[in-house]
Structure formats: C-alpha cells, structure tokens
Chain A
Amino acid sequence: LAKTTQPISMDSYEGQEVNITCSHNNIATNDYITWYQQFPSQGPRFIIQGYKTKVTNEVASLFIPADRKSSTLSLPRVSLSDTAVYYCLVVPGDSSYKLIFGSGTRLLVRP
C-alpha cells in the first residue's frame, strides 16, 4: 500500500473551514483515497472516499488533483464536535487488504 504523510496536528476555531492535506506519492492506479475520523474512546469511522477530482458528502469534501499524489480533506465550518483524529489511507480498489493506519492528524477546534 502507498505510504501516506499528513500533519501530526492542527488547530482551528469554530466556524472556520479546515483543510487537511495528505501526501501519497506512490499511489497505484487502482487505489482509492479514504479518510476516517476517530473521536476519543471510539473506533474510527469512515467519512469519505474518492478516486479523483472532487467528492462531497454531508460531512466533508475531498479534493484530489490530477496526479493523485496528494489529497485534501475539507471540513466546512467546523464545530467543537469535530475535534478528533483524522486518518488518510490509500486502499486498493479491487480487493480487500489489510489496512495500516498512520498516526493521523489531531484536529483541535477551539471556541
């Protein structure tokens, strides 16, 4: 699986847009980019997945440039409840595979 690199931590304030960028230089043609969110004392939960360009759902948007070597998770108008760890993973799109989570990005949203 392609190795991912993302910032260790980020701070923001309520109501701001937060963008977390993940680098995955060795992404393969059939790989997808997936983001998980983990609140304290809970297991991670899937928030968004994409292959190229832009994907949007009720929680977030995911921007993927044409070369797919990076991706940006965008959280619009964050609230205190968005304080969590966000993990970027690159996963095969054609089979199941063991998923290795990196350290993630600890997002702290301040009042």
Chain B
Amino acid sequence: GAGVSQSPSNKVTEKGKDVELRCDPISGHTALYWYRQRLGQGLEFLIYFQGNSAPDKSGLPSDRFSAERTGESVSTLTIQRTQQEDSAVYLCASSSYQTSGNTIYFGEGSWLTVV
C-alpha cells in the first residue's frame, strides 16, 4: 500500500478484555516496529521485526503483550486482560534499509481506551 495502515483507528474496551491491533506495513518493507505513546508522553519502543530474524521483544512491558508478524507483511499486537494503564495510542512503523535507509514510516496509530 501507499503507507502504513493500522486498524482499528479507535478502540474502547472494558478492563480485562483482550484486544488485537493490526498493522499493514508498506509493501516490501522488511522491518516493522511497534511503539506505545501515552497521552503527553514520548514514544515507548515495544517490539521490532526484521525479516525472518527473531523479533526483538525487549520493549514489551509484560507478558500480557505479544506480537506476531506473518512473513514480511501484516503484524498483530495482542494485549490480553487489558488494564487502564494500557490506554494509549499504539503506533506501527515500517522501513526497508535497501530502499529508504533507516527512515521509518509511521501509521496513524490505534487509539486504545480501557474503561
């Protein structure tokens, strides 16, 4: 696609429910990133996928968070048993060193509100 696409754009969920957030990276981009940004705060790195290598999960805040990526395409970030502190915008980004160096392109984000 033309850009990084994320869905849903907005999600309100009840505390304790599971949520899935989807990211479609730019076609051909081998690297994919997930970040979390709480209101008024900076970007918090969550996870990084690069090609077929094992993902760097060092930023996932707890075992309630997991992410998968199908080959070099779609990624899903899953949050289990959501808590109110999970409320944030979840930003996905992608890049391809071969075509754009280390410039990463962000989606518009998925805004999650846990009530």
Contact = CB atoms under 8 A, between A and B. Distances in A.
Contacts of B50: 96
Nearest to A102: B42
B42 A103 contact: yes
Contacts of A66: none
B32 to A, nearest CB: 10
A4 to B, nearest CB: 12
A34 B55 CA distance: 24
20 contacts: A32-B101, A34-B103, A41-B89, A42-B109, A43-B93, A46-B103, A46-B104, A46-B105, A49-B101, A85-B42, A87-B43, A91-B102, A92-B102, A93-B102, A96-B102, A98-B45, A99-B33, A99-B102, A102-B42, A104-B42
A43 B106 contact: yes
B42 A43 contact: no
Contacts, number: 55
Interface in A19-40: 32, 34
B43 A44 contact: yes
B108 interface: yes
A46 B96 CA distance: 14
Given A32-B101, A96-B31, A96-B95, A101 B45 contact: yes
Interface of B: 30-31, 33, 35, 42-43, 45, 48, 50, 56, 89, 91, 93, 95-97, 101-109
Contacts of B45: 98-101
A1 B2 CA distance: 29
A93 B101 contact: yes
Contact of A98 (B33, B42, B91, B107): B33
Interface of A: 32, 34, 41-46, 49, 85, 87, 91-93, 95-104
A42 B104 contact: no
A93 B33 CA distance: 18
A92 B31 CA distance: 14
Contacts of A43: 91, 93, 106-109
A46 B103 CA distance: 7
A45 B104 CA distance: 8
A95 B106 contact: no
